[in-house]
Amino acid sequence: MTGLIVALAYALGAGIGVASARSPRLADAWRRIIRFQIVIVSVGVSILAAWRLEGFGDLLWPLLAAGITAVIMACAWWTTPRGPDRTGRAVLRGWSANANGGFWVIPVATAIAGPPGTVFAVIIDRLYIIIFGFFTWILRRNAPEPQRMRTSWIDQAPVIALGLGLVLNVTRETPDWTATALAWAAPILALSGAAVFVGSVLHPSQRIPWRPGMRVWALLSTVRILLFVPAALLAPTPEIAIAFVLFGFTIPAFFPPQLSILYGYRDSVVAATARWGWVWAAPGVALAVLLWSRA
């Protein structure tokens, strides 16, 4: 899988997202499109990643990444003003400041390090799925727009799929084709993720002032980088180091703008992150390539 294919997938997806935002008909159906992507794309990757998990020792460094996520979330809570909507907004802010594992780290780590980079990045991202499944529950519970009970199965589908993958891991031999499937999932994740993200950021409900959120975005981004980059320098393998660098220097998380549409949130920090979080992409890729070239 070449970096060119992944880059083209991002560009094509972004173009689709811009075109979608200009269609009133698609804007009205955007909630259904978001949930369709959750089921079709995220579920498949969750099953494959859990199926390929080789042992609990593989979870040591992913658990460190989860701990860093907890620190970022605590900072997000501290920076969110008191009020009846504090819990939901804090979760959205912390989520938006965290790494984009599924639609950034996995495709780029695959492009740089090949299948070994894919597997570790996917393991971290699937562990995140459990954490963010809990946060999704919080967002639904505090949603400004009431949610139908039946949609909870869709919103939590990646967590359910992760459990199914673990069952397969225990009961079935892992087929060789799963590694190839994960590698080919990289451009699919890049294309679909970019399309739905851009379409969500430009959705009429999310056209809100972003400047008030810049200060908090800068603070949370700094916390993330200062925690992930030192961890990358201490990582035992180049694949882990590359993944941690990309988690530190990440593009914006795609789900916060999408979930803001689903649940009716409007937050300036999420808006600022969606617009300015891209500045970390270039230094992240450059440092990851440097680490891989010296491996």
- Supply the pLDDT for residue 119: 67
Range of the domain at 20: 3-293
- Supply the pLDDT for residue 284: 92
CATH of the domain at 280: 1.20.1530
| Top-confidence residue, 257 or 19 | 257
Give 112-139 pLDDT, tens digit per residue: 877 666 667 777 776 777 787 788 888 8
How many domains are there within the chain? 1
- DSSP for the chain, please give it: --HHHHHHHHHHHHHHHHHHHT-HHHHHTHHHHHHHHIIIIIHHHHHHHHHT---GGGGHHHHHHHHHHHHHHHHHHHHSPSSTTHHHHHHHHHHHHS--IIIIIHHHHHHHH-HHHHHHHHHHHHHHHHHHHHHHHHHHHT-SS---TTHHHHHTHHHHHHHHHHHHHHHSPPPTHHHHHHHHHHHHHHHHHHHHHHHHHTSGGG----GGGHHHHHHHHHHHHHHHHHHHHT-SSHHHHHHHHHHHS-PPPSHHHHHHHHHT---HHHHHHHHHGGGGHHHHHHHHHHHHHT-
- Give pTM, 2 decimals: 0.78
- Supply the pLDDT for residue 1: 47
Give 30-67 pLDDT, tens digit per residue: 777 777 777 776 677 777 767 766 655 556 777 888 88
